[in-house]
């Protein structure tokens, strides 16, 4: 269907016309640029009220109104005052033209434009925008959030740092420009499974500037850490799902360093990467019109009285009616142990995972964290060294707490290498059923009772065999006594279930039952709080 789309979630007042017959899209935009500081909701809304009619009229002046089959609008997430103006404009147009109305999730539109333009069947998507940052994959009728920011969106984080320097909005391009003349400084790096945090990093960056470090060096280091975190979680998502396609969405995707990191990572994995042209990365009505066309074709339209906007509209709340039953998870049956396997001898194979290469012998494995070419060498060396030490220590501590784990035979921190006992016959993905998952819940409870978290509990980091369920790969684990950290450990595992399990609800219930038997009920209560937040603010 031929669709007129309207976008106005925050700063970009935009209208577009999409004709699927020609695959052509016409976009007219009028961005709001604050005189100082960040986006002010009242000023942004005032801009929308003036600019939306202008951009709509510019589009209507170039198309035949009789060739508009539906009107689509950005229903959320975004700034409430801006969304309400756009929603009102869309309702008025739909009634005037006597065509159906379509409400589009802004973040789903970011990933769908990448899928549409790339031709990929069912890719993993990294959304890096101002107010949001997600890693998503389509599974069981919805876009599942495999990982996301624990505090603020990536663009907003960079903007806040820029405002600390009294730089005007938007701050991301100015940080990118300054970074070209910078050198690396050590800054915090926070990844928890496929979730990530920017708040501590931003505080450290501001502190570095205030203490006299060169602005260029801080900008360079900030980019290196922020974008390496995003690239790492994207790679973890590819590894979890066995997928070999990645698309990038969101305005921060215009940053050349981020695109370069993702390209380097995908090339090393043998995966394909696609980033849309800049006009489709920044907020635009073209993506709203394109997704609106698919939704309208599927009959996913709104009655006027049901078309209210939602400033907290999450991508995983969208019932996807325009796609089939395919899943982002592509692991071939019987190949749940590896991303890639090569025979390296008569009795050994090499397994290439998200972070390490594992040489598998008859009764031992040699795990070596490979240097990551996308990361700055200093950061990469630090992470490999720290994670190797953590894995060795926490693997042994988990065994003492009663959790089956491999025996650690040797540790080489300099090389980032471990020699471990070979355990199990396959990953949990080979038997992702409630009975096995229940055991994982009990294992995590024992770890938490012992005062540490696994850090990256997914079906890829659980091995099964001989009637036992083993926990492996503790490189992201750490000691803590905070309920929030324990609940986040559970949250990471349940997200991985949502993106891979055939019966995710039954597996989740079994997992929590296993945890409840051996763990603190207050952790499960905190897990409910985390889910209720939608995302961290």
List active site positions.
Answer: 456
User: Which has the closest alpha carbon to 189: 37, 375, 442?
Assistant: 375
Tell me the C-alpha distance between 489 and 454, whole Å.
Answer: 7
Parallel/antiparallel/unpaired status of strands 12-19 and 24-31: antiparallel
Helix (H) or strand (E) holding 222: helix 215-241
Separation of alpha carbons 103 and 513, rounded Å: 38
CA proximity to 80, closest of 37, 132, 41, 133: 41
Please state the separation of Cα 21 from the chain's center in Å: 32
Helices H, strands E: what count in the chain? 15, 23
Cα distance between the two ends of the chain: 37
Whole-number Å distance between alpha carbons of 338 and 378: 28
Q: Hunting for tokens 């600019």 — which residue is that?
A: 51
Determine the length of the chain: 537
Find the helix packing angle between 154-164 and 172-179, rounded to 10°: 70
The burial class, CB within 10 Å (0-12 / 13-18 / 19+), for 38 is middle
φ and ψ at residue 180, rounded to 5 degrees: -65, -25
Give the chain's largest Cα–Cα span.
74
**Phi, psi for 152 (deg, rounded to 5):** -135, 160
């Amino acid at each position: 269907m031929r669709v007129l789309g309207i976008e106005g979630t925050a700063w970009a007042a935009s209208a577009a016309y999409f004709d699927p017959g020609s695959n052509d899209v016409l976009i007219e935009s009028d961005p709001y640029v604050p005189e100082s500081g960040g986006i002010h909701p009242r000023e942004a809304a005032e801009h929308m009220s003036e600019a939306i009619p202008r951009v709509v009229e510019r589009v209507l002046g170039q198309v035949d109104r009789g060739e508009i089959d539906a009107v689509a609008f950005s229903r959320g997430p975004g700034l409430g005052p801006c969304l309400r103006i756009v929603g009102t404009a869309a309702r008025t147009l739909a009634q005037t033209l006597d065509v159906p109305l379509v409400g589009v999730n802004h973040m789903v539109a970011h990933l769908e434009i990448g899928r549409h333009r790339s031709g990929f069947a069912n890719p993993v998507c990294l959304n890096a925008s101002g107010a949001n940052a997600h890693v998503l994959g389509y599974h069981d009728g919805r876009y599942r959030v495999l990982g996301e920011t624990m505090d603020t969106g990536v663009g907003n984080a960079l903007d806040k740092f820029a405002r600390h320097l009294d730089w005007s909005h938007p701050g991301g391009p100015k940080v990118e420009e300054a970074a070209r003349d910078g050198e690396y400084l050590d800054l915090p790096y926070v990844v928890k499974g496929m979730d990530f945090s920017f708040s501590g990093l931003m505080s450290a960056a501001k502190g570095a500037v205030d203490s006299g470090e060169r602005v260029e060096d801080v900008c360079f280091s900030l980019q290196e850490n922020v974008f390496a975190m995003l690239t790492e979680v994207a790679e973890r998502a590819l590894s979890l799902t066995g997928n070999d396609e990645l698309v990038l969405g969101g305005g921060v995707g215009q940053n050349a360093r981020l695109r370069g990191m993702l390209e380097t990572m995908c090339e090393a994995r043998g995966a394909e990467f696609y980033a849309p042209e800049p006009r489709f990365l920044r907020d635009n009505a073209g993506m709203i019109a394109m997704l609106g066309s698919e939704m309208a074709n599927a009959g996913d339209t709104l009655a006027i009285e049901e078309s209210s906007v939602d400033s907290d509209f999450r991508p995983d709340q969208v019932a996807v009616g325009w796609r089939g039953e395919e899943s982002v998870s592509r692991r071939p049956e019987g190949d749940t142990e590896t991303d890639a396997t090569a025979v390296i001898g008569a009795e050994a194979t090499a397994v290439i995972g998200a972070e390490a290469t594992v040489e598998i012998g008859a009764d031992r494995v040699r795990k070596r964290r490979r240097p990551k070419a996308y990361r700055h060498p200093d950061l990469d060396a630090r992470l490999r060294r720290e994670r190797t030490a953590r894995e060795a220590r926490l693997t042994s501590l988990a065994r003492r707490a009663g959790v089956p784990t491999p025996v650690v035979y040797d540790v080489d921190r300099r090389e980032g290498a471990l020699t471990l006992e070979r355990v199990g016959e396959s990953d949990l993905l080979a038997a992702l059923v409630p009975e096995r998952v229940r055991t994982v819940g009990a294992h995590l409870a024992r770890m938490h009772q012992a005062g540490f978290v696994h850090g990256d509990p997914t079906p890829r980091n659980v091995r099964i065999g001989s009637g036992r369920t083993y926990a492996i790969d503790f490189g992201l684990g750490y000691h803590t006594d905070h309920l929030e950290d324990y609940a986040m450990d559970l949250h990471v595992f349940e997200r991985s279930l949502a993106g891979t399990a055939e019966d995710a609800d039954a597996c989740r219930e079994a997992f929590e039952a296993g945890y409840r038997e051996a763990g603190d009920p207050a952790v499960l209560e905190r897990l409910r709080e985390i889910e209720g937040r939608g995302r961290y603010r």
